[in-house]
Amino acid sequence: MDGIIDRLEQLQADFASAVGDALSIIADLPDAEVMRLLDASGRVLRSNDALQVAATVQVRERSEACAASG
């Protein structure tokens, strides 16, 4: 189970590094590359949103289960 969390933490570190690299050159990118950057970062954001929603659902379900049993 911890493997996936470790992977996500490594992914976050890698992403933060890539963001830093992108920020340093974004002004010099041609229009098509800026559009690709927006597309790629949007996909990352949507994937993260899906993970956040799924985890939030788990918290809510577990909380409701505790309230119902208590």
pLDDT tens across 13-30, in order? 999 999 999 999 999 999
Angle at 51 between CA 32 and CA 68, to 5 degrees: 160
Is the pLDDT score of 1 beyond 60? no
What does the alpha-carbon distance between residue 38 and residue 51 come to, in Å, rounded to a whole number? 20
CA dist 70 → 59, 62, 65, 66, 67 (Å): 16, 12, 9, 6, 5
Q: Is the pLDDT of residue 60 over 90?
A: yes
pLDDT at 41 over 70: yes
pLDDT for the residue 70: 75
State CA 12 to chain mean position distance: 8
